[in-house]
Amino acid sequence: MTPAARSCIRPPARWLLGAALALLSGLGLSQPARADLRLCNTTDSRVGVSLGYRDAAGWVTEGWWNLASRGCETLLRGDLSARFYYIYAVDYDRGGDWSGRSLMCTRDREFTIRGVEDCLARGFDRSGYFEIDTGEQKSWTVQLTDPGRPAAPGLPGAGAPNR
């Protein structure tokens, strides 16, 4: 047998070890997949994002995540526990917002606000959030897009900002 032919033959112990490692990784014993709620800003502007959701104690709104142009941010880490989440975002550079009909509390600076009732009476602003239906998936990514630009294939888009 030539030296080149011998280098292609593996000793049985090495082959069994390689097969065992391949089998174990196929059984899911490798790194677990990350399950998060992420938001990607596909626009040319800087964007501020706030999030509304219901937890065991009731409604919560949180903000602000500041996303650079073409940047992504994880809003919630871990498996999603609800089907519906709510987003309100503002375009810092060109004005306008991504909003909807679900009224929740916000404020100008960083916040975590419990409850969605009587926002103005409690000293907060009231903003319209748009609904995200995750279909009870454990992980979800939302994209904010510029006018006339569709979301990336396979990812739900929030459409263009209201200007």
Q: Which positions ≥6 away from 120 have C-beta within 8 Å?
A: 126
| Residue 149 contacts residue 155 (beta carbons within 8 Å) | no
138: helix, strand or coil: coil
Average pLDDT, rounded, for the chain: 78
Q: Which residue type is seen at 1? A: M
Percent of the chain at pLDDT above 70? 69
pTM for the structure as a whole = 0.71
Residues 5-44 have pLDDT tens digits of 433 333 343 333 333 333 333 333 334 456 789 999 999 9
In the predicted structure, residue 92 carries a pLDDT above the cut 60: yes
Residue 153 reports pLDDT greater than 50 = no
Confidence check: pLDDT of 159 > 80: no
Lowest mean pLDDT among 38-52, 102-116, 149-163: 149-163
- pLDDT at residue 125 greater than cutoff 60: yes
For the cut 70, the answer to whether the pLDDT of residue 79 exceeds it is: yes
Determine the 3-state secondary structure of 98 from DSSP.
strand
- Phi first, then psi, for residue 40 (nearest 5°) are -115, 135
Q: Which two tokens stand for residue 154?
A: 């396979």
Distance between CA atoms of 10 and 141, rounded to whole angstroms? 45
**β-strand partners of 66:** 48
Whether residue 65 has a cis bond before it, omega within 30° of 0: no
What is the rounded average pLDDT of the residues 71-90?
A: 92
Amino acid at 62: E
In the CATH hierarchy, which top-level class contains the domain 36-144?
Answer: mainly beta
